[in-house]
Amino acid sequence: MTYIPNQNRYQSMQYRRCGNSGIKLSALSLGLWHNFGGVDVFENYRKTLHFAFDSGITHFDLANNYGPPPGSAEENFGKILYQDFKNYRDEMIISTKAGYTMWDGPYGDWGSKKYLVSSLDQSLKRMNLDYVDIFYHHRPDPETPLEETMAALDLIVRQGKALYIGLSNYETPEFEDALAILKRLGTPCLIHQPKYSMFERWSEESLLDSLEKHQIGCIPFSPLAQGLLTNKYLHGIPEDSRLARPTGFLTEDYATSDKIEKVKKLNEIAINREQTLAQMAIAWLLKDDRVTTVLVGASKASQLADSLKSLDNIYFEEYELKEIDEILKG
């Protein structure tokens, strides 16, 4: 069936400027790490992508290794792009990354120019694209000189294979070193992608200040702690959850009783705010305007529908923030 997007898709979404760039991103972005691979159900994730675009989500985040198997999320996304979104490519910000293991041997991992350039070429082929909007170095490489990695990112932009550059999982000192090199090369960094949620707050130590100072965007990943910061695990581990599935990276010890106790208390606050816990967890990130967009995952369209309602209330009273901090510290 031909897909016809919702004509009102831009009316309910909020768009936030990414640092001091020309780009605005939808307040929620959709990540394809899980649920879009070769092991997943095509019609289900196709529906999720339609729903996302129909709701005004413009940003879709991939990486070379997303699947499983690695590469399959890009292939599947490429198929749906071709089939349904051909006429809407210019309405989308599509990102991919390289930095984790992708192929055997010394050139399929980390941060060499050899790896980054060939990996992006492979990603473009898999997605059937001429360029991506954002290309990330996925994680810092302790062995390759930062100069080489940044020069590779600069080259990729000059070749027209990516419009913008992003960095992910870089801690502040190395991030600032990378920025200085990129600035000298003349290719600014558009955005940083850190792991950031109520359960993972290292970005608050200095990264967010650095991003503000340098006017660079921020796109927190795993904002729901992979599903833990939702009402999903309140009463055990459901069969259809990421924790129960064999293909993820989660083991049962991820949902410790200590964490579940905290989740239950956080859920009470969410109920008082007339939000689901997922909505509150996303709103809690968006309350900070240094955060450009929150990068959620979804195993079905209905989860995304729930998460999108976070935008109805991203305001927190001081006492709510204090209560949340107390629960998280406890």
Q: Establish if 75 lies at the interface with ligand NDP (CB under 6 A).
A: no
Residues 6+ apart with CB under 8 A from 112: 141, 144, 148, 149, 152
Q: Establish if 275 lies at the interface with ligand NDP (CB under 6 A).
A: no
Closest approach of ligand NDP to the CB of residue 294, in Å? 8
Q: Establish if 224 lies at the interface with ligand NDP (CB under 6 A).
A: yes
CA–CA separation, 233 and 24 (whole Å):
34
User: Is 187 or 276 the residue whose CB approaches ligand NDP more closely?
Assistant: 276
Give the one residue of 33, 85, 110, 164 binding ligand NDP; rule: CB under 6 A.
33
Q: Establish if 217 lies at the interface with ligand NDP (CB under 6 A).
A: no
Burial of 8 (0-12, 13-18, 19+ CB in 10 A): exposed
Q: Establish if 266 lies at the interface with ligand NDP (CB under 6 A).
A: no
User: Is 158 or 312 the residue whose CB approaches ligand NDP more closely?
Assistant: 312
CA 226 to chain centre: 12
Q: Establish if 267 lies at the interface with ligand NDP (CB under 6 A).
A: no
CA–CA separation, 139 and 325 (whole Å):
29
Site for ligand NDP in 157-216 (CB under 6 A): 168-169, 193
CA–CA separation, 292 and 95 (whole Å):
15
Q: Provide the mask over 290-319, with x wherever binding to ligand NDP is found by CB under 6 A and - wherever it is not.
A: -----xxxxx---x--xx------------
Tell me the β-bridge partners of 218: 192
- Rounded to the nearest 10°, the torsion over CA 182, 186, 113, 141 is 0
User: Is 23 or 134 the residue whose CB approaches ligand NDP more closely?
Assistant: 134
Site for ligand NDP in 54-73 (CB under 6 A): 61
CA distances from 159 to 54, 121, 124, 180, 267 (A): 32, 11, 13, 21, 48
Closest approach of ligand NDP to the CB of residue 4, in Å? 26
Q: Establish if 226 lies at the interface with ligand NDP (CB under 6 A).
A: yes
Residue count (the chain): 330
Residue ranges in contact with ligand NDP by CB under 6 A? 31-35, 61, 138, 168-169, 193, 221-227, 230, 232, 241-242, 278, 295-299, 303, 306-307
